């Protein structure tokens, strides 16, 4: 499994060619600076430590019990691993309870490749023409989601599942369909959503009640 994962990460790194070329060995993010211009300013190289390139958070499964969807995402992006700044890659671990779902969402700044660590999942994405590309994937399988397309992962089984997800961005961003449309701040008008979804305003209000507005 280790050689497969190493190959998996090398492929993800190759995908990062879309990012700007490096002009120095690294540019560890100075997260304390507060400035953010399409990335973070570089920390003084004299103050860089091994911890800037290290993260232990993916070693164990995250708790899914408190998630309404039965899934938990643990990200290792530039905000957790400052050494990823300007490198154009990041990784996440996603854990799924039996019956869990990582609901339809998209990453505006990255393609994604998942490697199944444990379990069996039903995964898929939607093309811009509305075609569903989906498949059941098993332990050791890899599946790719193209940049900015809606996609999902579901665990329809009675056992937990988990994946590692590689991205060709240090900060892929995530936009989940339900909370984005029905929990925006300020809220999208009910009549607009009612017309868009062919539903009555009271139905829209009921759905909005499930997604508290973002602060």
Give the residue numbers of the binding site.
102, 105, 107, 112, 151
Q: Spell out a b/e string for 138-176, using b for 16 or more CB atoms within 10 Å of the CB, else e.
A: eeeebbebebbebbbbbbebeebbbbbbbbbbbbbeeeb
Strands (E), 77-111: 90-96, 101-106
The token pair at 208 is 């909005």
Annotated binding residues for Mn(2+), as ranges?
105, 107, 112, 151
Binding residues for oxalate: 102, 107, 112
C-alpha torsion angle, residues 165, 166, 172, 174 (rounded to 10) = -10
* 93 class by beta-carbon count within 10 Å (0-12 exposed, 13-18 middle, 19+ buried): buried
Answer yes or no: are the C-beta atoms of 162 and 96 closer than 8 Å: yes
């Amino acid at each position: 499994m280790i050689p497969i994962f190493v190959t998996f990460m090398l492929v993800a790194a190759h995908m990062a060619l879309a990012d700007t070329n490096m002009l120095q060995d690294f540019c560890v993010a100075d997260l304390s600076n507060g400035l953010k211009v399409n990335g973070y300013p570089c920390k003084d190289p004299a103050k860089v430590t091994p911890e800037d390139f290290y993260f232990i958070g993916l070693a164990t499964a995250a708790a899914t019990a408190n998630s309404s969807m039965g899934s938990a995402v643990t990200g290792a992006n530039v905000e957790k691993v400052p050494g990823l700044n300007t490198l154009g890659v990041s990784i996440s671990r996603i854990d799924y309870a039996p019956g869990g779902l990582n609901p339809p969402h998209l990453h505006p700044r990255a393609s994604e490749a998942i490697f199944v660590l444990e379990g069996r999942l039903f995964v898929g994405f939607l093309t811009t023409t509305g075609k569903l590309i989906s498949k059941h994937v098993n332990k050791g399988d890899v599946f790719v989601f193209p940049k900015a397309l809606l996609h999902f992962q579901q665990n329809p089984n009675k056992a937990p599942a988990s994946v590692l997800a590689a991205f060709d961005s240090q900060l892929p961003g995530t936009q989940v369909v339900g909370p984005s449309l029905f929990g925006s701040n300020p809220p999208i008008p009910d009549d607009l959503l009612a017309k868009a979804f062919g539903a009555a305003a009271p139905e829209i209000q009921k759905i909005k009640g499930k997604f508290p507005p973002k602060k």
